[in-house]
Amino acid sequence: MSEADFPAYRDYFIDDYAQDLASNHGLALADARQQAEASLLQYLPRGAATPDQSLLCIVPVSDTVSDNTGNEVAPTVGIAGYLWHSIDSAAHTTFIYDFYILPAHRGLGYGKAAMAALEAELKTMGVSQIKLRVAYDNPRARALYEELGFHITGYNMAKTLG
């Protein structure tokens, strides 16, 4: 991701993460937005240039792609999504903080292709495991990850005290 691409990513991430925090953690949307902004600033203080963080734009690389039915369709130009991960070299793992395919690009194989490219690159770097978290209310993402060979290693749980 270039610095020029970062503002669009930042805007998407803050909105999306705020929705996740509000939906899954019971925060008011304004509070969730503040927490999302603080989290992004904490983990990416230098934007796309933050050391030890890999922010990637997912872009179409072929002239045609296939939809869910196998029919070839013309890809749209531009960014199809984002992938943010951070490698822990000592543990030979990476953690995916964010993986998002823009709605207009869903169902065209970009998510699977991006994960395959990431896995191939990580293998050459000696990374042997990818970790991530899936929100409870995102069954589409969970289904994709399970199809790609991920398995559940635990559950996040919360209790609101009133």
* Residues 62-94: tens digit of each pLDDT: 655 566 666 665 555 689 999 999 999 999 999
pLDDT digits (tens, 9 = 90+) for 37-68: 999 999 999 999 999 999 999 998 765 556 66
Q: What's the average model confidence in pLDDT over 108-123?
A: 95
Asked if 45 and 59 count as a contact pair (C-beta separation under 8 A), the reply is: no
- pLDDT at position 37 is 97
Q: How far is residue 120 from each of residues 115, 117, 127, measured CA to CA in Å?
A: 9, 5, 10
Find, among 76, 98, 128, the residue nearest to 1 by Cα: 98
- pLDDT at position 156 is 83
Q: pTM for this one?
A: 0.84
Q: How many helices (H) and strands (E) does the chain have?
A: 4, 6
Beta carbons within 10 angstroms of residue 74's beta carbon: 9
Q: What's the average model confidence in pLDDT over 141-153?
A: 92
